[in-house]
Amino acid sequence: MHVLGESDDATELARKAARSGAEALGMAGGDGSLAAVASVSLEQDVPFVCVPFGTRNHFAGDLGIDRDDPIGALAAFRGRERRVDVGAVDERLFLNNVSLGLYASFVNNPRRKTRNRLMAFLRMTPAALGRTRRSLDLSFDVQGRHEHHAALVLLVANNDYRLESMADLGERTRLDEGLLHAYVIEAVSRRALLALLLRAAVGNVEEAEGLVELSARRLTVESSHRRIHAAIDGEPVVLENPLEFEIKPGALRVLVPPSGA
């Protein structure tokens, strides 16, 4: 076990452990911290253990692990193995999702930065409805099919989320579907957008005007900007245009506790 210090590189430490013969690699942290070690597990073909120790712990919950019991999650080291999908954008691994637009702008802005999705949602609402709102001009290539959307928010997910609200993505019923799912909140009229936000507040966003859903194994997103602010599993990043998304079906070996899903 290694307690990470400020100067430690989790990726290099995990790689060193794998090359020294570790039978599994584990990481205790929030969603944004897990991908660094999971990427080494994938690279070295070593099972990964997820120990929930963050705010939302979406990945752990979707694996069937108790999000509030990090000690219990350690039983995964003697648990059973399953294979799950992972997403990649420009070769960067993501376990949950990548977001662009308003949410990503809050994550990337030090003055507005928050990892609390509800707080980000509350801050996004006036920005989405205000007169100075700015949308992203995005072109999509969905396996040969071309689409264009003026997007306030784009979220590309590893497998399908049950969209309960804008403040909480809900859960994924499976992690082995083998598909990316993209959710676009369009810059529709303020009346339509307000209706969408109100429906989101009560957990009923399906088939709402202003929400577009796409699914594919590969997805290319192009913007008029050379560099795009994004959030990968909640962590702020800057990506180069165009963005190449793909799903890697069953690529990650994961250990779950004996009683896990």
**Which residues 6+ apart lie within 8 Å of 73 measured at CB?**
49, 50, 51, 52, 60, 65, 66, 257
Q: How confident is the model at residue 157 (pLDDT cuts 50, 70, 90)?
A: very high
**Cα–Cα separations (whole angstroms), residue 139 to 149, 221, 243:** 7, 6, 10
pLDDT at 134: 73
Q: What is the pLDDT of residue 192?
A: 65
Kindly tell me if the per-residue pLDDT of 125 is higher than 60.
no
> Which two three-digit tokens encode residue 110?
């030090």
pLDDT in tens, 71-86: 999 999 999 999 999 9
With a CB cutoff of 8 Å and minimum separation 6, the contacts of 77 are 24, 26, 49, 255
What mean pLDDT do residues 179-201 have? 74
User: What is the pLDDT, as a whole number, of residue 261?
Assistant: 45
Kindly report the pTM of this predicted structure: 0.84
214: tokens are: 């796409």
pLDDT at 112: 47
Residue 209's pLDDT is 66
Model confidence at 122: pLDDT above 60: no
Contact 181, 87 (CB under 8 A): no
Q: According to the model, what pLDDT value does residue 113 have?
A: 47
Residue by residue, what is the 3-state secondary structure of the chain? CCCCCCCCCHHHHHHHHHHCCCCCEEEEECHHHHHHHHHHHHHHCCCEEEEECCCCCHHHHHHCCCCCCHHHHHHHHHCEEEEEEEEEECCEEECCEEEEEHHHHHHHCCCCCCCCHHHHHHHHHHHHHCCCCCCEEEEEEECCEEEEEEEEEEEEEECCECCCCCCCCCCECCCCCCCEEEEEEECCCHHHHHHHHHHHHCCCCCCCCCEEEEEECEEEEEECCCEEEEEECCEEEEEECCEEEEEEEEEEEEEECCCCC
pLDDT of residue 130: 53
Task: Return the pLDDT at 110.
Answer: 53
Give yes or no for a contact between 161 and 200, defined as CB atoms under 8 angstroms apart.
no
> pLDDT grade, residue 32 (50/70/90)?
confident
Q: Which pLDDT score is estimated for 48?
A: 98
User: From CA 48, how far away is CA 51, in angstroms rounded?
Assistant: 10
Q: What is the distance between the alpha carbons of residues 193 and 196, in angstroms, rounded to a whole number?
A: 5
Average pLDDT, integer, range 107-131: 51
Number of C-beta neighbours around residue 195 at 10 A = 15
Give 234 or 117, the one with higher predicted confidence: 234
pLDDT bucket at 154, cuts 50 / 70 / 90: very high
List phi, psi (to 5°) of 210.
100, -10
User: What are the backbone angles phi and psi of residue 164, rounded to the nearest 5°?
Assistant: -80, -35
Average pLDDT for 190-204:
62
